[in-house]
């Protein structure tokens, strides 16, 4: 019997989940739940059913795991605790500072319902967090570095779009090669914000816009750009469409650490991602954690969990015997 997975929220992430479920033979899509009128939503696959989110409780007993694909700012803080009262749920909550609060709210709901709610699943938080934890546990006398990119930052792109005269914008976060090299050489550098990442903006301006003023406004924008070296390119709407319609991302987690009687040996652990589509990769992580949530809940485990709490074997479709024989 296949694991019945449903999607709540149907943007880029929800579409990615729809595609990822189709790649996993032990799962099937129960349906997509949306706040929009279901008739107005065109799923990736014709066979995918679309329901209104208001009716989700009608399918309480038909859905094994619900993957919540809303935003971290306003959707997930409300939706995840609410839906965990009735479903095993997964979300990709990524406001790092508010994770403890979100955890507490979701844990209370999930403990009461006896369901599992996995939060902050994706690549950062998610796979990057896991790699920081593993590397820190192995090499306690060390230092870790996270670099993001090259990739599109949605928040920074939005900030540029809000500037007067800007019609469209795309912002790439780019790790600086020089900083990466220093870390990989084991010099354990202290790196400022400016030294770690470059911000590159592609901007479509209106015909009558003052480009110099726009560029200055971007470069001096507090929190978003002021602490970085920022490069601004003005391009046409056609160039934006042709060259910047993808949503790539990625990054590096590197830890260097010392061992030996006197710290005489140095080791490097590096984990990196290079992603054509940030939402589709995040969706793929969500889907394998949905498998884990289903299995762990079957074993009687409930409450809020993160990637730190999930033994890797729960993620794989393969049996323990098969994993030990061929994957260890």
Shortest Cβ distance from residue 65 to its own copies (Å)? 15
Shortest Cβ distance from residue 75 to its own copies (Å)? 19
Report the residue number, 160 or 254, with the smaller CB distance to its own copies: 254
Report the residue number, 30 or 93, with the smaller CB distance to its own copies: 93
Shortest Cβ distance from residue 112 to its own copies (Å)? 19
Shortest Cβ distance from residue 203 to its own copies (Å)? 25
Shortest Cβ distance from residue 294 to its own copies (Å)? 13
Report the residue number, 12 or 86, with the smaller CB distance to its own copies: 12
Report the residue number, 1 or 137, with the smaller CB distance to its own copies: 137
Binding site for its own copies (CB under 8 A): 16, 19-20, 23-24, 44-45, 96, 99-100, 103, 120, 125, 127, 129-134, 136-141, 250, 259-261, 265-277, 280-281, 283-285, 288, 291, 306-313, 315-317, 320-321, 323-325, 327-328
Indicate the SS3 state at residue 227: coil
Q: Are 187 and 193 in contact (CB under 8 A)?
A: no
Report the residue number, 232 or 290, with the smaller CB distance to its own copies: 290
């Amino acid at each position: 019997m296949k694991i019945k997975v449903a999607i709540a929220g149907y943007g880029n992430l929800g579409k990615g989940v729809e595609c990822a479920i189709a790649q996993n033979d032990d799962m099937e899509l129960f349906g997509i739940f949306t706040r929009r009128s279901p008739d107005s939503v065109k799923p990736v696959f014709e066979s995918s059913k679309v329901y209104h989110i208001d009716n989700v409780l009608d399918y309480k007993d038909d859905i094994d795991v619900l993957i919540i694909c809303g935003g971290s700012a306003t959707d997930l803080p409300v939706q995840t605790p609410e839906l965990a009262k009735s479903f095993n749920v997964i979300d990709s909550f990524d406001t790092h500072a508010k994770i403890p609060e979100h955890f507490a709210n979701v844990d209370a709901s999930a403990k009461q319902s006896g369901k599992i709610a996995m939060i902050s699943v994706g690549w950062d938080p998610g796979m990057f967090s896991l790699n920081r934890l593993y590397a820190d546990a192995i090499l306690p006398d060390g230092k870790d570095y996270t670099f993001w990119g090259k990739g599109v930052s949605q928040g920074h792109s939005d900030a540029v779009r809000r500037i007067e005269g800007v019609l469209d914008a795309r912002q790439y976060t780019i790790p600086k090669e020089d900083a990466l090299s220093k870390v990989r050489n084991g010099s354990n550098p202290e790196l400022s914000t400016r030294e770690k990442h470059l911000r590159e903006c592609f901007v479509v301006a209106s015909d009558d816009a003052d480009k110099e003023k726009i560029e200055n406004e971007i470069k001096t924008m507090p929190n978003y750009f002021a602490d970085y070296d920022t490069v601004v390119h003005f391009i046409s709407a056609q160039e934006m469409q042709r060259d910047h319609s993808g949503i790539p991302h990625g990054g590096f987690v590197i830890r260097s650490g010392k061992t030996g009687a006197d710290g005489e040996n140095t080791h490097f652990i590096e984990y990196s991602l290079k992603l054509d589509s940030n939402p589709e990769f995040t969706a793929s992580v969500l889907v394998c954690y949905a498998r884990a949530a289903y299995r762990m809940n079957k074993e009687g485990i409930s409450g809020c969990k993160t990637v730190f709490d999930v033994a890797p074997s729960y993620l794989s479709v393969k049996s323990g015997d098969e994993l030990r024989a061929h994957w260890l």
